[in-house]
A and B are shown apart, each in its own frame.
Chain A
Amino acid sequence: MKVNLNVKRFDPESDGSTRFQQYDIDMPENSTVLDALIHVREYVDATLALRCSCRSAICGSCAMRVDHRARLACKTKVTDIVSDEGQEITIEPMGNMPVIKDLITDMEVHWSKVRQVVPYLRPTGPPPEREYIVSNEAMLDVAGAVNCIQCGACVSDCPVLEIDKSFIAPAALAKAYRFTGDPRDGTKKERLEMLSNVEGGIWDCTRCNMCVEVCPKDVRPMDRIMQLREQAVAAGVKTNTGVRHGTSFANSVRRLGRLDEMRLFPESVGMFAVPRLLKELPGAFRMLWSKRLMMWTHAIPFAHKPIPGIKHVRRIYDQARSEKKEHSK
């Protein structure tokens, strides 16, 4: 089968520019993208640098962007990407991290975030004589997160991290869930407080689902982040922008049937956080000016009227609440 790879090259020892290089090779049917890259490296161009080891999606070495999306090269068949033989496949290093050479990135960005979530079990109290007694369900619940191989694919493609370098990012947050969801850990609340209050914490995820889509191990990092939020609220960790924002949003819709944007911000940062509110005032005016906020009349607090049929909206709320109660039983 003809395979046509278009590989982004970067050699730190030359002029520092990047370029794309085309490799046309013949590969057996069913080859993976990694098979093709290894063939290039072994028989065509020995200077091509990439990391790879296990060939079976366990070691997490070969994450890279294939066809503009982060994937494990060893888990991606050539035919997963192109339907026609010889059609070009673009190969690039992961995003959101500095490139060292060709497809090799510096993953310290990721590891520093992993260290930030205190990535080890912290039991409290004296250790048991034998194993901790915990249910298999609890272990299976965190097994999804334990399945993470730290390949960095979700870190590479996280759009929040792209604009906010402080975001702890999906993989490390999934790792955090691995401990808050583990009944053996004695510091669940402390962890949730840190994850809620720290800059770039669990409330900064925009729920775009990209991490879920690119994860090669079905860790579903975003779902873990949502579980962390639920755990935090359930544990009473509520005095933070994230929870206030959610509460304000929900209350506004319940009250009016729509979003009261002028209240959303002050209620999110806290009505008494005066310096912060003042700091954001110019921004608010700019938004008004550019009509990013709703009509200026809406700028007058408490001037909103509920939409017609608000009682139906409220019925949805009541229904949702009672269903949740039922569910948690």
Chain B
Amino acid sequence: MATFQHDVLIIGAGLAGMRAALAAQGEGADIGVISKVHPVRSHSNAAQGGINAALEATDSWEEHAFDTIKGSDYLADQDSVEVLCKEAGAELIALENMGVIFNRDDQGKLGTRRFGGAKKARTYFVGDITGQAILHVMYEQMTKAQESGESQMKVYEEWFVTSLISDGERCLGATVLDMRTGEIHTVLAKGTILATGGFGRVYEPSTNALICTGDGMSMAWRIGAPLMDMEMVQHHPTTLKGSGVLITEGARGEGAYLLNSDGDRFMKTYAPNAMELASRDVVSRAEQTEINEGRGIDGCVLLDMRHLDEKLIHERLWQIRELGIDLAGVDVIKEPIPIQPGCHYAMGGIKTNILGETPVPGLYAAGEVACVSVHGGNRLGANSLLDTVIFGRRAGVAAAEAGREIDMPIAPDSTIEGEQQKLQALLDRPANDEKIARIRWDLGISMDKNVAVFRSAEGLDEQQEEIKKLKARYETVPIEDKGKVFNTDLIFGLELGYLLDCAEAIVLGAITRTESRGAQYRVDFPERNDAEWLKHILLTYSPEGIRLDYQPVTITQWEPKERTY
């Protein structure tokens, strides 16, 4: 039991978290970084295809912004998108200068590939391991920063955050469980940045890693930070059957086809111009329609790369070829691979402004956990890595700057005790036959059935009831492992609590939004309805109940238009 203090506390050490840490160090702040896994195990690894920036002379940030806003189905806040796209070029060059080995063209300059929903080729990449390549370089920079000794930067690996500390107004830091010792500590900070990623494990199957359990969203929600656009859950068009493992959009960017059971490139019906490179919501819906109308194969359609140059696959898509062989038994050079839409990304999250500030003073958020609203109703491929580094950096700077004006907070003595009692109560629950994993599984399968690509009032109401039941089951589920060292059972129990909060918010958002926009497709309201719904849905938790608020979409220069690809 100990108390630690830092100017800036960063929770999560993926790309957004590490970028925030480096930026805050640049401002001279004393930094603590907490992660429930070693930083290079973070889910930023899984981003395969690339990172967007309008760097070419023939491109412009305005075109990138327009593609992003159109992709978002006009739900993105355009001031945020402007920041994202204007700052992209400099950030990309900074990553290259740090050491990322981006693919080059014949002149040795940065080379691009095409990606979905983009009119120009502006996706920069390292084969199909772009996220991994950038994440590891960011960790290298963390090592360098720690060695430089410019300011204190402490990384707490395999520490699990159990709650954010709040005095009712400000966020004062967090209570944490050191997974290796089982001890509970408090970490106090002038500013706390959440960079904990998404909630993909709410669904089954999902492309997301097992650690993506919505921790940050749930914890922020519990201290009164509003969640925004939670209904906007992206289903990626190309995921492996069963496991839901991701096959990069880069495959289609390099020219792969989507085929139905008749061998037709069915995208010609849905997006005659962009074809396979329409935005993800459009492609996923097209695939699901084909499958639902009987032109699928065992719940899948086919991704065909046989016509691509073998050398290109070896140089640019080596990882997915290996995944196909290992996990699906298919060599994409020789055979088309069966794929289906699968849960992939949360466009919604904790509401922030362009500095990463949430409405709760002292609390910041960046990356997938946040909703600064650059992705709106649908994120374009290769915009997520960009989001993490741009808004991670901004949150790091903002928190460090604000910290100069504030005194170190003091938490009430009862903080640790209260948290210990909470965890002890979990451990002391009487044994029964219920399993954490079974509740998680039932949650995932029901969310996939009712709140995936197509949604209806009927299914959503059913899901709301289901979540109530799951929450009731969660109240009595026992923690079977009573040990202190690496009690992963206890961790999963806490994570399941986070997931259920996120699911509740997703469903409530989806019920509320009675229109179809981006990833939210209501079969009972199949049209986009700008007159009533060109606005964000905000959900704020309080012990009395969930409050619903709305906020208009910020429009700067791109008036909403009909969206076709």
Chain A residues within CB distance 8 Å of chain B: 11-13, 30, 32, 41-43, 46-47, 49-61, 75, 77, 100-102, 104, 107, 114-115, 119-121, 123, 127-128, 130-136, 139-140, 142-143, 146-147, 149-150, 182, 184
Contact = CB atoms under 8 A, between A and B. Distances in A.
A128 B111 CA distance: 17
A96 B515 CA distance: 58
Contacts of A147: 129
B457 interface: no
Contacts, number: 150
Given A146-B126, A150-B40, A55 B243 contact: yes
B154 to A, nearest CB: 15
Contact of B180 (A32, A41, A100): A100
A143 B485 contact: no
A121 B329 contact: no
Given A53-B210, A143-B127, A182-B101, A46 B480 contact: yes
A143 B210 contact: no
B140 A120 contact: yes
B489 A136 contact: no
Contact of A56 (B37, B102, B245, B488): B245
A42 B201 CA distance: 15
B273 interface: no
Given A47-B489, A119-B140, A182-B101, A57 B435 contact: no
Nearest to A141: B101
- The contact size tier of chain B is 35 or more
Interface in B498-550: none
A67 B435 CA distance: 30
Given A139-B101, A143-B126, A149-B40, A131 B96 contact: yes
A120 B40 contact: no
A53 B43 contact: yes
B486 A121 contact: no
Given A61-B41, A119-B140, A142 B327 contact: no
Given A60-B41, A149-B40, A131 B93 contact: yes
Contact of B99 (A52, A58, A121, A143): A121
A43 B435 contact: yes
B486 A100 contact: yes
Given A13-B484, A132-B97, A134-B108, A58 B46 contact: yes
A42 B129 contact: no
A32 B211 CA distance: 19
A327 to B, nearest CB: 22
Contact of A136 (B46, B108, B245): B108
B143 A115 contact: yes
Contacts of B106: 136
B347 to A, nearest CB: 21
B41 A59 contact: yes
Interface string B128-146: 0100110011001101100
Interface string B455-467: 0000000000000
Between B97, B107, B111, the greatest number of chain A beta carbons within 10 A of the residue's beta carbon is seen for B97
Contacts of B105: 136
A49 B108 contact: no
Nearest to A106: B180
A136 B132 contact: no
14 contacts: A13-B485, A51-B41, A56-B327, A57-B323, A58-B132, A58-B319, A119-B140, A120-B137, A121-B99, A127-B97, A133-B109, A143-B127, A146-B129, A147-B129
A77 B108 CA distance: 40
A46 B97 contact: no
Contact of B485 (A50, A61, A100): A100
A55 B126 CA distance: 21
Given A49-B488, A100-B180, A121-B140, 18 more contacts: A11-B483, A46-B481, A55-B245, A57-B323, A57-B326, A58-B45, A58-B132, A119-B140, A120-B99, A131-B93, A131-B109, A132-B96, A135-B104, A140-B315, A143-B126, A146-B133, A147-B129, A182-B99
